[in-house]
A and B are shown apart, each in its own frame.
Chain A
């Protein structure tokens, strides 16, 4: 088996290229929701925060995990909600004569 770090590097590089391809196709009009939405995605670090709460018998680690879960949750919940709020405004097709 390969070293997990090497596998991680492979995944990271390929994912970055996918990211570049996807993001260059996002029109400027959606750049703000893109930022807040991608921000929510970076809250995926919540997975690490959840795992970190399981560390036993270490008050410092428990405190770090508590703050980590709290901040990651702000990021995830707030990020997806505010993005949805913005995109809802974009949805409205004003003129029926288009379709």
Chain B
């Protein structure tokens, strides 16, 4: 195969990635889009195999191990564990890119040109940070590491010093052509990946995963420069852009800057004792009363939080919704961007319970239907429905976009107790006149509700 034909076939693979991502723009075409992208990948692999001198033993062994591990992970994973899995996959991608560049470095004889060295260093540096950073994110999400931020004095200074060290080792490695400097840089990037992610709290992991996603793409693009391959550069750039957009969407949904997420060690609990909130009386309701109210409503909006998914109560929720729809009640779901543990996570969890995707409304659409909604059912969500974020300039979450459930006629909050949410902030919604509290475990409350609905 001539290099020209090869280059064009790689371009075709990249076009398949672009078409695949375009088809991800709608739930109807998304699955075929994923298939198109995977065919592009297959094409790129075949083109490479045809024209390269490969070691079939090394290749076969690596591919066999990787295919088995990848397939088992993908087919076994629980939908609640999706963030960890994506974090792990990000890490493997980063590692692969870094190692490819390292293998190229090892085999170059004689002096390496400045530009080539720069691309190798970028690939190893970004890939290394992505690898260990993803491992830490995986550990935090999987519960192997504490989800709370790990901080120590001089943390930022140390990280800054390491970053300078990384750049220094890179420059030294180029000017001296010293292998020690090169491997030193690799080690620093691995250490830096760990140290950059440990101070970030569990609640901020959606941002971190999105950012690592972006980095894994950039590492692949950098490797594309090392081996001068346009499929890697295009594929890597697409993923880099995707991760960056998601990172921005997540930080906007939390009303935080990226710097604040990365360096703010949010959720340490230091001095965030809930401000002396006057509190007041709360009104409570029972599954029986709620069943009656729900069945006479025109529209019910359900606002799910992550607690619902942890309790695996989505299926009970769908039963309630089915029961209501049978009575002609319109049931839709209001999904805050940070309702899950990664972008779009809650939607996947509800889709798993066979809730049709056209019922899942995003933040803006939810807020536009709420003023014309009879009952909002808040299940396991707290901070994302806290009106302080809108009204109280002193609140730590002030400015965060919320689902304005208090605009609906009646709000029913299903909650185990009055304990404050993840961020330790009191919620005036609970004391609002239009709010009814149903103190129960979400799963049990929904089961009771279904039973009560059957008798209404």
| Interface set of A (CB-CB < 8 Å, partner B) | 3-5, 8, 11-13, 15-20, 22-56, 58, 60-62, 64-95, 98
B93 within 8 A of A: yes
Which one of B10, B62, B89, B234 lies within 8 Å of A49 (CB-CB)?
B62
B233 touches A40 (CB 8 A): no
Task: Pull 15 A–B residue pairs with CB atoms less than 8 Å apart, ordered by A.
Answer: A12-B221, A13-B237, A15-B241, A16-B238, A20-B241, A33-B24, A33-B348, A41-B41, A42-B220, A42-B236, A56-B53, A70-B66, A71-B93, A74-B67, A94-B354
Whether A15 contacts B22 in the complex (CB less than 8 A), given A35-B246, A49-B100, A53-B58, comes out as no
Within 8 A of A (CB), among B23-52: 24-28, 30-31, 33-35, 37-38, 41, 44-45, 48-49, 52
Cα-based distance from A38 to B226 in the complex (angstroms)? 21
B276 within 8 A of A: no
Whether A54 contacts B219 in the complex (CB less than 8 A), given A47-B231, A81-B74, comes out as no
Cα-based distance from A20 to B24 in the complex (angstroms)? 13
B70 touches A73 (CB 8 A): yes
Whether A27 contacts B362 in the complex (CB less than 8 A), given A35-B210, A94-B354, comes out as yes
B103 touches A55 (CB 8 A): yes
Cα-based distance from A8 to B236 in the complex (angstroms)? 12
Whether A86 contacts B93 in the complex (CB less than 8 A), given A38-B243, A53-B55, A80-B37, comes out as no
Cα-based distance from A21 to B388 in the complex (angstroms)? 35
CB distance from A61 to the nearest CB of B (A): 5
What residue in chain B is nearest A95 (Cβ atoms)?
Answer: B356
Contact with A along B95-108 (1 / 0, CB 8 A): 11101111110110
A22 touches B30 (CB 8 A): no
B295 within 8 A of A: no
What residue in chain A is nearest B62 (Cβ atoms)?
Answer: A69
Cα-based distance from A71 to B62 in the complex (angstroms)? 8
What residue in chain A is nearest B213 (Cβ atoms)?
Answer: A35
A28 touches B362 (CB 8 A): yes
Number of interface residues of B (CB under 8 A): 114
Contact with A along B53-79 (1 / 0, CB 8 A): 111001101110111011101110101
B265 within 8 A of A: no
What residue in chain A is nearest B37 (Cβ atoms)?
Answer: A41
Inter-chain contacts of B27 with A (CB < 8 A): 27, 29-30, 87, 90-91
B213 touches A38 (CB 8 A): yes
Cα-based distance from A3 to B225 in the complex (angstroms)? 11
Main secondary structure of the interface of B (DSSP, over half): helix
Whether A38 contacts B82 in the complex (CB less than 8 A), given A22-B22, A29-B357, comes out as no
A75 touches B70 (CB 8 A): yes
Whether A15 contacts B238 in the complex (CB less than 8 A), given A26-B24, A46-B45, A87-B31, comes out as yes
A44 touches B44 (CB 8 A): yes
Whether A45 contacts B348 in the complex (CB less than 8 A), given A28-B335, A62-B58, comes out as no
A47 touches B48 (CB 8 A): yes
Cα-based distance from A26 to B353 in the complex (angstroms)? 22
Inter-chain contacts of B63 with A (CB < 8 A): 69-70, 73
Cα-based distance from A32 to B93 in the complex (angstroms)? 17
What residue in chain A is nearest B90 (Cβ atoms)?
Answer: A39
A25 touches B335 (CB 8 A): no
Stretch in B13-21, B137-145, B283-291, B440-448 with 4+ CB within 8 Å of A: B13-21
B99 touches A49 (CB 8 A): yes
Inter-chain contacts of A51 with B (CB < 8 A): 48, 52, 54, 100, 227
A32 touches B74 (CB 8 A): no
Within 8 A of A (CB), among B383-434: none
Stretch in B190-198, B301-309, B338-346, B369-377 with 4+ CB within 8 Å of A: B338-346
CB distance from B46 to the nearest CB of A (A): 10
B224 within 8 A of A: yes
Which one of A29, A34, A65, A84 lies within 8 Å of B35 (CB-CB)?
A84
Cα-based distance from A73 to B45 in the complex (angstroms)? 11
Cα-based distance from A13 to B218 in the complex (angstroms)? 12
B436 within 8 A of A: no
